[in-house]
Amino acid sequence: MKIGFHTDAFNTSFKNFEFCLDWAKKNDVHHIECGVIDGVSWIHGLGYQPHVALYEDPLMLKNKMADQYGVEFSQVDAAFPLSGKDGPVYGVPYVLKSIPWAKHAGCPCIATTDGLHKPADLDDDAAMDMMKREYEQIIEVAEAYKMQINIEVHGYFTTNPDMLEKMLNFCDSEYLGLNMDTGNSFIAGNDPVKFIKRFIDKVRHVHIKDVSASLAEALRGQDTGIALSQCAIGEGVNADNIKQCMALLRDSGYTGVLSMECEGEGGPMIERSLAWMRSTMQELGIPEEK
């Protein structure tokens, strides 16, 4: 398997994408995931946000990442919530615009998701019907570009295993799969091990996220997603679940990316996470593909 990380790790330290590339090179990590921005923002323009804007040339960025840093994209995050009334208006165009950009950037996957909460203006059936139409439109374009669209475990519908199963069957396409998230599944009150076991054949990308004891005590079973885990991987109450999930992925033949998600503190916390990931992979007999 490959180790990567989401640049969200450096949100709170106000680093830019270039800093993330440099961190990856220094730590011998060759796969990176970031959010894509459709438009401009002052905080990104001034270099205080570690994500990439869709106005940036994707081919030039791909070449720069490879030539200067030895890094490539594992996934870009276009996860505007698709389950609410804004999904068709803003979410679908955002994903569709991201597909050709990601293709030129050499990125194989795009993350999508639902909203954190039950839609205020739609019942569950209506929201599911709407999302089915949205994903049908997205997958039609994704198939043309041979782009993997992943549904991330992150919200009201996606952390419900029965609802998620229906979503993963919205389209009969090899290009619709699952971005498993060990932290979001846990904080929603699920057992991440049972969760991933149910969907193991659909997993195309994985977010590895631990949860602190204090956060679990305060929010487990009451929330659906964690914006950023203030806990190094391996130091929280979800560590054993993560290890078991990695073993299941190993046994299933998964060879994709394990993308670390945690607060970076400008480096120290994500470096501890990386050390735990590498030692755990070695313990489980999982070769790290660079």
pLDDT in tens, 123-167: 999 999 999 999 999 999 999 999 999 999 999 999 999 999 999
Per the DSSP assignment, residues forming a β-bridge with 81 are 113
Question: Could you count the other beta carbons within 10 Å of the beta carbon of residue 66?
Answer: 13
Residue 259 in contact with residue 5, Cβ under 8 Å?
yes
Q: Is residue 290 part of a domain?
A: no
DSSP states of 231-259: S-TTSSTTHHHHHHHHHHHHHHT--SEEE
Q: Please say whether the beta carbons of 271 and 246 come within 8 A.
A: no
- Tens digits of per-residue pLDDT, 198-255? 999 999 999 999 999 999 999 899 989 887 788 999 999 999 999 999 999 999 999 9
- Confirm whether 289 is domain-assigned: no
**Residue ranges making up the domain that contains 195:** 2-283
Q: In this structure, is residue 288 part of a structural domain?
A: no
- Mean pLDDT computed over 176-183: 98
Sign of CA dihedral 223, 244, 262, 7: negative
Asked whether residue 117 carries a pLDDT value surpassing 80, the answer given is yes
**What are the phi and psi torsion angles at 2 (to 5°)?**
-110, 145
Q: Looking at the domain assignment, is residue 236 inside a domain?
A: yes
For residue 166 the two structure tokens come to 């229906």
β-sheet bridge partners, residue 4: 31, 259
What is the overall mean pLDDT for the chain? Answer: 97
Residue 211 domain flag = yes
How many structural domains are present in the chain?
1
CATH number at residue 92: 3.20.20.150
Tell me how far the alpha carbon of residue 205 is from its chain's centroid. Answer: 7
How is residue 21 written in tokens? 């590339």
Residue 186, domain member (yes or no): yes
Please report the pLDDT score of residue 226 as a whole number.
87
Is 0.85 surpassed by the pTM of this model? Answer: yes
* Residue 130 parent element (H or E): helix 124-145
- Cβ partners under 8 Å of residue 2, min gap 6: 30, 31, 74, 255, 256, 257, 258, 288, 289, 290
Is residue 171 domain-resident? yes
Phi and psi for 34 in degrees, rounded to 5? Answer: -145, 165
